[in-house]
Structure 1
Amino acid sequence: MDVSKSIEINNNDYDRADEVEIMAGMMSGESLMQPNAATGQDHRFTLTALTSLFFMWGFITCLNDILIPHLKAVFSLSYTEAMLIQFCFFGAYFLVSLPAGALVKRIGYKQGIVSGLLIAATGCLVFFPAASLQSYPVFLSALFILASGITVLQVSANPYVAVLGKPETASSRLTLTQGFNALGTTVAPTFGAILILAGAEGGAEMMADASHGADSVKVPYLILAGALVTLAVIFSLLKLPAVTHADEGAEKQTVDANQQPSAWAFPHLVLGAIAIFVYVGAEVAIGSFLVNFIGEDNITGLPEAEAAKYITYYWGGAMVGRFIGAAVMQKIAAGSVLAFNSVCACVLLAIAVLSDGYTAMWALLAVGLCNSIMFPTIFSLAIHRLGIHTSQGAGILCLAIVGGALIPLLQGVLADNIGVQLAYVMPIACYLYIAFYGVKGCRA
């Protein structure tokens, strides 16, 4: 089902009571809505504003890759303990997605976006007392609050972008906004390296002072809090097009899929949910350990502030590959491209595990290019031919993002026991499963 063909835009006065939250429908298995093709309104300004949200949550999410080595050093954490950062952050997706969908369905897109921005800003502000108290649990609480706000933002903004314009151009709009999300993940490491890691690298004496090391996060997250509050004010003043209920009769087609009791009856969806789980987990785990991996004596031995700058290449590769992959998949089957990228990722990870020096570093960074098409490709393959169960299937896939909380934690356990470099056998196993899904699982 085309999400862009599931909503009707009402360009009259903003009416909160009439708004429909698509993601809430996705989570609950409700039917989607039908659009009114005769919108004709120029939504370029609104889309520009929404694009800023995609940039911000990509930026904030990637900043975790800087926080992990920094807080690990400040609090003398094990790798397992440091991975609780990703556990708390991505765990919010699993715990907050359903409540966020219900919230946005009740208060509407506009207020949902404003609420998400304010919740995220609150999480950023909690970094200040966390640093003052020198408390790792308070840092984790701040990250959970921050991620909860981003979850509300995603539930509000992702489906909304699809309806702001002609249905036939919905895919291009989503690709563009996702590209700015990748831009945020690309520039965040440099920001974090300059403001967080560089400020904390004054030698052994400075790092031994936990209060000084913790204080280095105050300014960056206060800046982020200010940016989020500013966006909240801007969106509260914007007059966004309302989304209203439409006749759902057109989507009740007589297809074989509609005869199934639920989305869980489709093997290719269930296998796809596992693929989303391991993909997000592998992508996050690789980024989480990059600074420590690059800083290993047998790799480059670079200090953290210098090593962090190379993370840009990992996320930048994902941004570039997204547009290349979109063109390639117009001529080659999506499942084949997915399998090819997965096998390439396995080869690159094997090189990173078995070699040393810059060869290992660049091999690991190149995995970002392979990651580029995986999430949208798995998602589209998994919801293919679900009929009226498409919305429920999409909700199942969204919940599978919790892999970003669990797999990095497992890799942290491995790193503590066999070392950071050898621990990268964990994402190899993940990509092998994704290759299976591309070749066979998606056709189940």
Structure 2
Amino acid sequence: MTPQKKTVAQPSGNYQFAFILVTSLFFLWGFAHNLDPILIPHLKKSFTLTTTQSTLVDSSVFAAYFLMALPAGFIMKKFGYKIGIIIGLLFFATGAFLFIPAANTQLYNFFLVALFVMACGLAILETAANPYAASLGAPETATQRLNLSQSFNGLAAALAPVIGARVILTKGFSDEELSKMTEAARKIALASEASSVKAPYMILGLILVIIAVVFAFTKLPVIQEEGRGEASKSIFHALKHKHLSWGVSAQFFYVGAQVSVFSLFILYATKSAGLSQVMAADYLGICGFLFLIGRFLGTFLMKFVQPQTLLALYAGINILLCAVAITATGMITIYAILGICFFMSIMFPTIFSLSIKDLGGDTEYGSSLVIMSIVGGAILPRVFGYISDATGNIQLGYCVPLASFTVILLFGWKGYKTKQSL
């Protein structure tokens, strides 16, 4: 996601192929993100981690988004979208390849470094791909194109947990087998399980290198940018727009809530409903599918309901579902989380668009600030994990998403209203 400027792609005959290439990026980064919920229980078991320690996976990923938001925008401005996409793909691939030495050395911190490098690439790709996809065609159909591209992100959310669980979580020893081993043998066995990630991430890295080469040899349409009025005085001036400040806060809490729900789902489901890890991963795939359906349905409903009204309504419903996730037991807790996933679907793009509305010359800084607020995905899951470890009850961790959806409800109710900055 980049500064929301009016963009026009120069006439070209390869719009369709360029659009397909760019849309593939949405699927790839969605697939990578949605492998993280598989990595968390896998690494938690392999390295005998607490829930809080295992959430460092998310911290590594979303800290990279925070740190790369402004540099990614500079790369696009300095070198253009094509070079930016290639740089992002190469970072992405490098991080994937680093999983091999991480598994060989059997160091948890090495895995975190690999994830951080991958996420730097993802941040650059998201900064480039969203506005570029919207610009590949007539301006009046930009929203439809972007929603079509984003739907492949939702498709990845449905497929990645199901595929990842069968490639990664089915490898290794059962708890019963581990309990019969000596302490030394058990440590060796658990550490060796980390090696099951090498093949899938090596394949992912190779695919990314191939796509980077295709981009390098493809002539893409050039985007011409038109200014949006007087340039912003500073990033602090942009924050004088109260609805932007509200939006940054809402996006921080939304991303933190989404990551908490998705990344800790398998750990949650095995405790609250007694599911196996593979079965829990299948339900996580259903979460991704409902997220995808929710995005399509929400886009349709916005023809009849104001986006901020729908946002507040969905946030209110999720507050109630979080209460169920905290207090109930058995499969009803899983159904509550499935509902949360459905009603989260519209939140990121809706918060984003409402946050940067009518910013004028502050749009560039405003967009970067909203992207930087993704750091909520690095912080709030750790709070979730801390509550879970401190109380011995992972269900109480859902106090974090409950509080987050309360902030989003307030944004959709009043915080979205635009006011002129000074």
Q: TM-score if structure 2 supplies the norm length?
A: 0.92
| Aligned residue number for residue 183 of structure 2 | none
Hey, what does 2:122 align to over in structure 1? 150
Q: Distance in 1 between matches of 2:342 and 2:399?
A: 19
State how far apart, in whole Å, the 2-side matches of 1:261 and 1:77 are: 40
- Cα deviation for residue 33 of structure 1 reads 5.5
**AA matched with 1:328:** L
**CA shift digits 1:390-425 (9 cap, x unpaired):** 222111111111101100011111110122111111
- Residue 436 of structure 1 aligns with which residue? 410
Cα contact 2:322–2:336 (8 A) shared by 1:
yes
Counterparts of 1:139 and 1:133 in 2: how far apart (Å)? 10
Q: How far apart are the structure 2 equivalents of 1:317 and 1:356? A: 22
Q: Which residue of 2 aligns with 1:84?
A: 56
Distance in 2 (CA, whole Å) between partners of 1:135 and 1:302 is: 29
SS of equivalent to 1:240: coil
1:304 paired residue number: 277
Quote the residue 1:6 is aligned against: none
1:59 aligns with 2:31: yes
Report 1:26-425 matches (<5 A): 26=3, 32=5, 35=8, 39=11, 41=13, 43-205=15-177, 208=186, 209-244=189-224, 248=227, 251-252=228-229, 262-296=237-271, 299-418=272-391, 419-425=393-399
1:16 maps to which residue? none
Q: CA contact under 8 A between 1:74 and 1:210: conserved in structure 2?
A: yes
**Once the 2 structures are TM-superposed, how far is the Cα of residue 386 of structure 1 from its aligned partner?**
1.7
Deviations 1:70-116 (A, max 9, x none): 10011010111100000000100001121222223222221221121
Query: Aligned in 2, Cα 1:94/1:50: closer, same or farther, shift over 3 Å?
Result: same
Q: CA deviation at 1:362?
A: 1.0
Cα separation, 1, equivalents of 2:338 and 2:397? 16
> What letter is aligned with 2:315?
S
- Structure 1 residue matching 2:223: 3-state secondary structure: strand
Q: In the aligned structure 1, how far is the partner of 2:69 from the partner of 2:170? A: 35
Give every structure 1 segment of 4 or more consecutive aligned residues whose post-TM-superposition deviation is greater than 6 Å.
none
Give the 3 Å change call, closer, same or farther, for CA 43–77 of structure 1 in structure 2: same
Residue identity matched to 2:190 = A
Aligned residue identity for 1:284: V
- Structure 1 position 383, deviation (Å): 1.5
Contact 1:33 1:245 in 2 (8 A): yes
Give the CA deviation at 1:377. Answer: 1.1
Cα deviation, residue 435, structure 1: 0.7
Shift of residue 188 of structure 1?
0.3
Q: In 2, distance between residues paired with 1:102 and 1:205? A: 52
Identity of aligned residues (%): 39
Cα deviation, residue 244, structure 1: 3.9
Give the residue type in structure 2 aligned to 1:242: V
Secondary structure of residue in 2 paired with 1:119:
helix
SS at match of 1:199: coil
| Residues 42 and 165 in structure 1, CA contact (< 8 A), matched pair in contact too | no
Alpha-carbon contact 2:14-2:221 (below 8 Å) kept: no
Q: Secondary structure at the match of 2:246?
A: helix
For the Cα contact (< 8 Å) 1:89–1:143, is it kept in 2? yes
Shift of 1:63: 0.5
Amino acid across the alignment from 1:439: W
Task: Give the superposition deviation at 1:353.
Answer: 1.2
User: RMSD over aligned Cα, in angstroms?
Assistant: 2.1
Contact 1:289 1:420 in 2 (8 A): no
Tell me, in whole angstroms, the C-alpha distance in 2 between the residues paired with 1:110 and 1:324: 32
C-alpha distance in structure 1 between counterparts of 2:355 and 2:118, whole Å = 29
Contact 2:14 2:220 in 1 (8 A): no
Deviations 1:269-299 (CA, angstroms, capped at 9, x unpaired): 1011000000000000111211011111xx3
The match for 2:401 is 427
TM-score (norm 1): 0.87
Residues 261 and 132 (structure 1), Cα distance of their counterparts in 2 relative to 1, 3 Å cut? closer
Q: Could you say what secondary structure the match of 2:130 adopts?
A: helix
Contact 1:186 1:316 in 2 (8 A): yes
Q: Which residue of 2 aligns with 1:14?
A: none
Gaps of 5+ in 1: 1-21
Q: Secondary structure at the match of 1:413?
A: helix
Shift in CA distance, 175/245, structure 1 to aligned 2, threshold 3 Å: closer
C-alpha separation between the residues in 2 aligned to 1:261 and 1:409?
Answer: 28
Structure 2: distance between partners of 1:435 and 1:163: 31
Alpha-carbon shift at residue 34 of structure 1 (Å):
5.3
Equivalents in 2 of 1:337, 1:245: separation in Å?
A: 32
Distance verdict in 2 for CA 1:265–1:138, change over 3 Å: same
**Within 2, Cα distance between the matches of 1:324 and 1:315?**
14
SS in 2 for 1:35: strand
Please give the alpha-carbon distance, in whole angstroms, between the structure 2 residues aligned to 1:96 and 1:301: 39
- Mapped to 2, the partners of 1:384 and 1:273 lie a distance apart of 13
One-letter amino acid of the structure 1 residue matched with residue 194 of structure 2: A
Alignment-derived partner of residue 11 in structure 1: none
Question: Does structure 1 retain, via aligned residues, the 8 Å contact 2:238–2:362?
Answer: yes
Q: Secondary structure at 1:265's aligned position in 2?
A: coil
Give the drift of 1:41.
4.3
Amino acid at match of 1:252: G
How far the C-alpha of 1:202 sits from its partner, in A, is 3.9
Q: Which range moves more in the overlay, 82-91 or 223-232?
A: 223-232
1:204 CA drift (Å): 4.1
